Amino acid sequence: MELFTRWTLYALPWIMLLAMAGPLPDRLRSEAPANWLAWGQFGLAVVQNVLAIPLLRRGIEHRRGERAAPRGLLALAGAMVAAGQCAGVALLIVDGASEGSAFMSAATMNTLPFSLSCPLLLSVRAFTLVHAGIAAATLTALSVAQASVFLSVSSPLAVLLMAALSAFSVRSSIWILEVMWELDASREVQARLAVAEERLRFGRDLHDVMGRNLTVIALKSELAVQLARRGRPEAAEQMVEVQRIAQESQEEIRDVVRGYREADLQVELAGARSVLRAARVDCHIDYRIPDDGADAELPPAVRSALAWVVREGTTNVLRHAEAARCTVRVGMGRTTDGGRTAVLVMENDGVPEVEPRVPGTSAPGTSGNGLKGLRERLVPLGGTLWSAPGEGGTYRLRAELPLTEHEEREARETSEGVGV
């Protein structure tokens, strides 16, 4: 959007210049003074267009607060406008009223670059006063040249209308850019705040877990020291209590870290959709786990393992592919002996085409640490991970985990807990 806005503003004066300078080559055939005045006016317009590009660039930087307004360039552009208008009036005096339309074209051609490049460098009041002065000077010059009433009225009015249109167009375009810049900055701030919030949450959890226990350990240790100095046997009992509290603190820290590092399948699926769509990848989630009977929910170990697959697969899509679409399917499958399995398949496009490989073999250059770590996570659960490029620049990642043994294990643990 910024590139489009910048180059549209840069090109507009040149388009107008070429559109209004069509009759000029025919005038060069004669050596009349009016013809050379017309070409001189055209040359001043070219200089104006050249100056408009750095003025617009500096204007955008000035709007963002990066640089000060270039007063020297502004003064030079204003001088070029005045010279162009003087050349137009001289042309009108030499060639007479027949050149009224040529004067209006030249006036527009000389004023437009200045009107486009100044709205970002001048305040609204200063911009209005400058163009009101240009219009007044044009009216005075036309009166001195005894131009027609129509030309005397229409030329200053055209200058004012063109200035108003230019100021509105430029300021509106840059306002849209400012909104986009603020949105981009807010995304970065949002990401930093999310990281800071997560750190604060983890810090609060550690403080809640360890604060009281460390205080008790310090007090009991101090008490044990005092009892030991007095030769009291209770000191050993206090140290045993300190040891017990320390062991409990270790278990609580492990629980906090385990919960912090644990991945949830639904959260990862939602996060993958959000992240991929933010990266302009059309992400489709197809979750086909039955919601009835014993299949209402996958075992926690299976959900966590599949969540890690989604996380790593999403990372790979963002890092290694220029994808336009990505599909994630989660469903149920069957093994050869009739057992049930949980199956997750991620497929995306945007991958350079290579020769497909046979499932179960290693593709050249694809043995990254991420997929290797996923396989290590799935092996203890009896799962398998397969990945390979396909036809048409696609890539597929497939994870499969058996459900029967996990359900039996959970049922056995539950029955043992009931028995106790």
- Per residue in 179-188, pLDDT (tens digit) is 888 888 887 7
Q: Which pLDDT score, from 0 to 100, does residue 397 have?
A: 93
Q: Which pLDDT score, from 0 to 100, does residue 347 have?
A: 94
Residue 31 has pLDDT above 60, yes or no: no
Q: Which pLDDT score, from 0 to 100, does residue 399 have?
A: 93
CATH number of 201-261: 1.20.5
Residue 17 has pLDDT above 90, yes or no: no
How many whole angstroms separate alpha carbon 16 and alpha carbon 13?
5
Residue 125 vs residue 109, higher pLDDT: 125
Q: Which pLDDT score, from 0 to 100, does residue 95 have?
A: 62
Q: Which residue has the tokens 């226990």?
A: 213
Class of domain 265-355+363-419: alpha beta
| pLDDT average, residue stretch 309-323 | 85
Domain ranges of the chain: 2-186, 201-261, 265-355+363-419
pTM, two decimals, is 0.47
Residue 38 vs residue 228, higher pLDDT: 228
Q: Which residue has the tokens 């030991």?
A: 228
Q: Which pLDDT score, from 0 to 100, does residue 178 have?
A: 87
Q: Which pLDDT score, from 0 to 100, does residue 295 have?
A: 45
Of 23, 8, 11, residue with least CA distance to 106: 23
Residue 356 has pLDDT above 60, yes or no: no
For 229-282, the pLDDT digits (tens) are: 888 888 888 888 888 888 888 887 877 676 665 667 888 898 888 888 877 889
First CA to last CA across the chain, in angstroms? 67
Q: Which residue has the tokens 């509290």?
A: 245
| pLDDT average, residue stretch 305-319 | 86
How many whole angstroms separate alpha carbon 289 and alpha carbon 300?
14
Q: Which pLDDT score, from 0 to 100, does residue 365 have?
A: 39
How many whole angstroms separate alpha carbon 224 and alpha carbon 213?
16
Instruction: Give the chain's mean pLDDT.
Output: 77
Cβ atoms of 243 and 237 within 8 Å: the answer is no
Q: What are phi and psi of 283, to 5 degrees?
A: -105, 130
Q: Which pLDDT score, from 0 to 100, does residue 24 have?
A: 55
Of 161, 270, 142, 252, residue with least CA distance to 207: 252
Helix (H) or strand (E) holding 287: strand 282-287
Q: Hey, do 201-261 and 265-355+363-419 end up sharing a CATH topology, with the first three levels equal?
A: no
Q: Which pLDDT score, from 0 to 100, does residue 416 have?
A: 45
| pLDDT average, residue stretch 27-55 | 71
Under the banding of pLDDT at 50, 70 and 90, the label for residue 359 is very low
Q: Which pLDDT score, from 0 to 100, does residue 317 have?
A: 87
**39: how many CB neighbours lie within 10 A of its CB?**
16
